A = this chain, B = another copy of it.
């Protein structure tokens, strides 16, 4: 959050600082700021925070559809989405189930496959741009 120091930035940063463990929808942030910061300003500030790597934004702008394969044999697998090419692939059912059990066992956390999207680099994109896969866990 470079640039000038303004009241609006203060308020937003304050709010975020007091809620480090939650995630927010835009409308929640805006209403929490109680009309003190304009909507478009919040959008702009949030975007700059994302660009600075301080905040992560989940978004799929448009919907994505995929078919359930072979009936209802497996309706619970995870999805992997490549951050470079954008393509999605399925994580094998048995592997998904295995991971789900792992997480349940270690954290007593019940994973929701439907909501969860795993981001990363697919095989093709790793080959094409090894330098990206090097620094993959940075902003």
A65 adjacent to B87 (CB under 8 Å) = no
**CB contact between A118 and one of B20, B111, B136 (< 8 Å): that residue:** B111
Interface status of A53 (Cβ within 8 A of chain B): yes
* Bitwise interface map of A from 16 to 41 toward B, beta carbon under 8 Å scored 1, else 0: 10001111111101000000000000
> Would you call B106 and A91 a contact (CB within 8 A)?
yes
Q: Which residue of B lies closest to A82 (CB)?
A: B109
Interface bits A113-139 vs B (CB < 8 Å: 1, else 0): 111111111110010000001001111
Across the interface, do B81 and A53 meet the contact criterion of CB distance under 8 Å? no
Q: CB < 8 Å: which of B16, B67, B72 contacts A67?
A: B16
The answer to whether A91 touches B119 (Cβ under 8 A) is no
B62 near A25 (CB under 8 angstroms)?
A: yes
Q: How far is the CA of A56 from the CA of B80 in the complex (A)?
A: 14
Chain A 53-68, CB within 8 Å of chain B: the 1/0 string? 1111111101111111
B119 & A116 in contact (Cβ 8 Å cutoff): yes
Which chain B residue lies CB-closest to A103? Answer: B91
Do A136 and B112 have beta carbons less than 8 Å apart? yes
**A103 contacts B86, C-beta separation under 8 Å:** no
Q: What's the nearest-Cβ distance from chain B to residue A131, in Å?
A: 13
6 pairs from A and B in contact (CB 8 Å cutoff)? A23-B65, A55-B67, A89-B107, A108-B122, A110-B121, A112-B137
